[in-house]
Amino acid sequence: MCGIFGYVGKKTNAPKLVLQGLKLLEYRGYDSWGIGAKPISKLEIRNSKFIIEKHVGKIGDVTLNSQLSTLSSELSIGHTRWATHGGVTDINAHPHLDCTKSIAVVHNGIVENFQELKDDLIKKGHRFVSDTDTEVIPHLIEEFLKRRGFASSVRDAFNKLKGLNAIVVANAKSSEIIAAKNGSPLVIGVSKDGLYVSSDATGIVKHTRKVIFLEDNQMAILGQKIKLIILPNGSEIRPKVSNLTWKFEDAEKGKFKHFFLKEIYEQPKVLEGIATNSSQIKKISDLVRNAFGTFFIACGSASYSALAGTYLFSKIAKKHVNFAIGSEFNYLEDYIEKGTLVIPISQSGESVDVIEPVTRAKKKGAKIIGIVNVLGSTLYRISDYKILLNAGPEKAVVATKSLTAMIATMMLIAYSLVNKLREGRTLILKSSRNVGEILKDEYVGKIKKIARKLKDHEHIYVIGRGLSYATALEATLKIKEATYIHAEGFAAGELKHGVIALIDKKTPCMVFAPNDETYDEIISNAQEVKARGGYIIGIGPRNNEVFEEFLSTGDLGEATMISQIVVAQLLAYFLALERGVEDPDKPRNLAKSVTVK
Ligand code: GLU
């Protein structure tokens, strides 16, 4: 969603640092951006104002597109906005200022009671210039500043906000930046040259590996030192510094044109890592075995790994588990009680649609096992037990390596439940090798050719049965996100209950056909589609005469789905290129981590 970045310290190019930081957060998705800085020359001037600059669109070249990028300053904050309240305009972009133009605020989230606060502030004489909910915050701080110091004013203002919010505040009359949150993530970077604050660690790792993950209801005052306080009252606590394991290169494209492709190619390594390094699996499977009901909850691609989990647990471990989409779980939670196990799955660990129901389940006594990729993320922190996916930073909005890592992890838990963890590990290692084969040039060339054939189609249908139903849904989402082609995935048995009416001459239909109990039936369904003119693309270990195109995978039992998903990822990527999608790393309207409801 939005990106926040700030710096205060000894370096005198703070605005440039902030812009570079914001660019590293670009993958989160945004529609406009802005930056503010306190110029060095005005440091001692009592009536100094915060200088700001705001634009619609992408940051692009930092020095070309930002006048502030060359300003000498030791204190700067910036924001990439994903509009929720008020249109995408320069004025609505952040930072927002108070009436005196000395308090600057960048904000992630939604101030749910903004209208009430705004009406009250207007009565007190404050003048608003934007349509955002955010603008109430600097004015509220201004109001409190009449009676107290900067930090206390920010604290009291933040305490008045309803909703899930993260803010970073600067004051032209102070040498401190203040960060507070009760929702979206904020990470503080500690280096000898100064302090950074960022929406996630990818923006910081270039400068320092030492970080403090700000917890909900904490406020950090960043100046020459860090002071951490608990909200709402303000008692001081000691900051806990963690060390990041990611390297800066992990967050760079390297020889690849897009993160999307780079991350697809990282999958053999990620899978190998999971197979050889899955220390938490045994403990987690014991918890699942003894739980009074297990519920997987997730959104987007992760939800398909959860759906796959229901088939995997049934097939491998003969165990029933439940699955719900994060945003729907609130309406299903009545059956949660003490002893229930809730397993949220999320790449970022910040999806509000997962965090919210998890928090409620926890209050009802459920135990939480978080399966996440980002260390220190909100889900990671609120989980009682955790599995870190260790897929490394995933920067393309379209999920690839995080998703196959989730599926491999689910498989291992299922195998471990029946004391066959070693068998599961061997399978994932084989899967890693097969993905390596699929990524070879010759195979990729074949996918490119099919992409060329499909590029002008308006609809693609995708079918699977059993585990492959989850594969079909995931493949469909990849195509939709990356190419903007209308793609729909179905449980193949459902075709004749309605969907087959959509099949027309030459309609492409992808068929996921692993060599398992679904093979004969899925082939019959492919025949039915072909009989109505459909163009059949088969993906799996066994060719069949019904397939017009065939993309072969290894025959790896349940792990065949991992190879099939990688084929679908590649097809989606090259289809995006064929269709001239501007930036496959950042599909239109989408954001990487969805931190608003
Ligand atoms: N609600 C605020 C706005 O619309 C913040 C949105 C964001 O998180 O980027 O400006």
Is residue 397 classed as helix, strand or coil in its secondary structure?
coil
Q: Is the pLDDT of residue 495 over 90?
A: no
| Active-site annotation holder among 118, 386, 395, 592 | 592
Give the per-residue pLDDT at 552: 98
Distance from Cα 525 to the centre of ligand 1, integer Å: 47
CA dist 107 and 96 (Å) reads 9
Distance from Cα 150 to the centre of ligand 1, integer Å: 23
Protein residue whose Cα sits closest to atom 7 of ligand 1: 108
Active site residue 23: no
Q: Which atom of ligand 1 is nearest to 86's Cα? A: 4
Q: Which atom of ligand 1 is nearest to 2's Cα? A: 9
The answer, yes or no, to whether any atom of ligand 1 lies below 6 A from the CB of 130, is: no
With residues binned 3-state (H G I as helix, E B as strand, rest as coil), the percentages for the chain, rounded to 5, are 40, 20, 35
pLDDT, averaged across the chain: 92
Q: Contact 494/522 with Cβ under 8 angstroms?
A: no
Q: Is the pLDDT of residue 181 over 80?
A: yes
Distance from Cα 433 to the centre of ligand 1, integer Å: 44
Give the per-residue pLDDT at 129: 97
Which residues sit opposite 294 in a β-bridge? Answer: 341
What is the pLDDT confidence band of residue 249, given thresholds at 50, 70 and 90?
low
Mutation to probe ligand 1, out of 96, 105, 110 (largest number of atoms < 8 A from CB): 110
Q: Which atom of ligand 1 is nearest to 109's Cα? A: 8
- Predicted confidence (pLDDT) per residue in 539-587, tens digit: 999 999 999 999 999 999 999 999 999 999 999 999 999 999 988 998 8
CA dist 49 and 38 (Å) reads 8
Give the per-residue pLDDT at 47: 56
Give the per-residue pLDDT at 1: 62
Mutation to probe ligand 1, out of 85, 97, 186 (largest number of atoms < 8 A from CB): 85
Give the per-residue pLDDT at 168: 98
The answer, yes or no, to whether any atom of ligand 1 lies below 6 A from the CB of 114, is: no
The answer, yes or no, to whether any atom of ligand 1 lies below 6 A from the CB of 231, is: no
3-state SS, 26-40, equals HHHCCCEEEEEEEEH
- The residue with greater pLDDT, 440 or 45, is 440
What is the pLDDT confidence band of residue 37, given thresholds at 50, 70 and 90?
very high
- Predicted confidence (pLDDT) per residue in 298-343, tens digit: 999 999 999 999 999 999 999 999 999 998 988 887 888 888 999 9
The answer, yes or no, to whether any atom of ligand 1 lies below 6 A from the CB of 81, is: yes
Q: Is the pLDDT of residue 44 over 60?
A: no
Q: Is the pLDDT of residue 134 over 60?
A: yes
Give the per-residue pLDDT at 596: 65
Find, among 517, 521, 467, 516, the residue nearest to 492 by Cα.
521
What's the mean pLDDT in 83-87? 93
What's the mean pLDDT in 45-54? 79
The answer, yes or no, to whether any atom of ligand 1 lies below 6 A from the CB of 502, is: no
Q: Which helix (H) or strand (E) holds 271?
A: helix 267-276
Distance from Cα 415 to the centre of ligand 1, integer Å: 43
The answer, yes or no, to whether any atom of ligand 1 lies below 6 A from the CB of 82, is: yes
State percent of the chain over pLDDT 90: 76
Mutation to probe ligand 1, out of 106, 200, 596, 597 (largest number of atoms < 8 A from CB): 596
- Predicted confidence (pLDDT) per residue in 19-35, tens digit: 999 998 887 778 899 99
The answer, yes or no, to whether any atom of ligand 1 lies below 6 A from the CB of 2, is: yes
Active site residue 99: no
Distance from Cα 402 to the centre of ligand 1, integer Å: 27
CA dist 122 and 101 (Å) reads 16
Q: How many CB atoms lie within 10 A of CB 236?
A: 10
Q: Which atom of ligand 1 is nearest to 595's Cα? A: 8
Give the per-residue pLDDT at 247: 67
- Predicted confidence (pLDDT) per residue in 182-200, tens digit: 977 899 999 999 999 999 8
What does residue 286 show for φ and ψ, rounded to 5 degrees? -60, -40
Ordered by where they begin, the domains of the chain are: 3-244 (3.60.20.10), 255-432 (3.40.50.10490), 440-597 (3.40.50.10490)
Q: Contact 516/466 with Cβ under 8 angstroms?
A: yes
Distance from Cα 30 to the centre of ligand 1, integer Å: 10
Give the per-residue pLDDT at 298: 96
Q: Contact 271/424 with Cβ under 8 angstroms?
A: no
Q: Provide the Cα torsion 285, 286, 291, 294; round to 10°.
A: 0
Q: Which atom of ligand 1 is nearest to 107's Cα? A: 5
The answer, yes or no, to whether any atom of ligand 1 lies below 6 A from the CB of 185, is: no
Half-sphere exposure of 198 (CA within 13 A, CB side): 28
Give the per-residue pLDDT at 374: 86
Is residue 112 classed as helix, strand or coil in its secondary structure?
coil
The answer, yes or no, to whether any atom of ligand 1 lies below 6 A from the CB of 84, is: yes
Max Cα distance, the chain (Å): 81
Q: Is the pLDDT of residue 226 over 60?
A: yes
Distance from Cα 79 to the centre of ligand 1, integer Å: 10
What does residue 80 show for φ and ψ, rounded to 5 degrees? -110, 125
Q: Which atom of ligand 1 is nearest to 82's Cα? A: 9
Is residue 595 classed as helix, strand or coil in its secondary structure?
coil
The answer, yes or no, to whether any atom of ligand 1 lies below 6 A from the CB of 85, is: yes
Give the per-residue pLDDT at 513: 98
What's the mean pLDDT in 496-518? 90
Q: Is the pLDDT of residue 93 over 90?
A: yes
What is the pLDDT confidence band of residue 424, given thresholds at 50, 70 and 90?
very high
What's the mean pLDDT in 418-437? 97
Distance from Cα 335 to the centre of ligand 1, integer Å: 35
Helix 114-123 / helix 136-145 crossing angle, nearest 10 deg: 50
| Active-site annotation holder among 2, 262, 509, 586 | 2
Distance from Cα 447 to the centre of ligand 1, integer Å: 40
Give the per-residue pLDDT at 300: 94
Find, among 118, 211, 215, 219, the residue nearest to 168 by Cα.
219
Q: Tokens 């000498």 — which residue?
A: 72
Give the per-residue pLDDT at 564: 98
State percent of the chain over pLDDT 70: 96
Distance from Cα 283 to the centre of ligand 1, integer Å: 40
Q: Which atom of ligand 1 is nearest to 133's Cα? A: 1
The answer, yes or no, to whether any atom of ligand 1 lies below 6 A from the CB of 189, is: no
- Predicted confidence (pLDDT) per residue in 355-396, tens digit: 999 999 999 999 999 999 987 788 888 899 999 998 988 989
What is the pLDDT confidence band of residue 172, given thresholds at 50, 70 and 90?
very high
What's the mean pLDDT in 41-54? 71
The answer, yes or no, to whether any atom of ligand 1 lies below 6 A from the CB of 133, is: yes
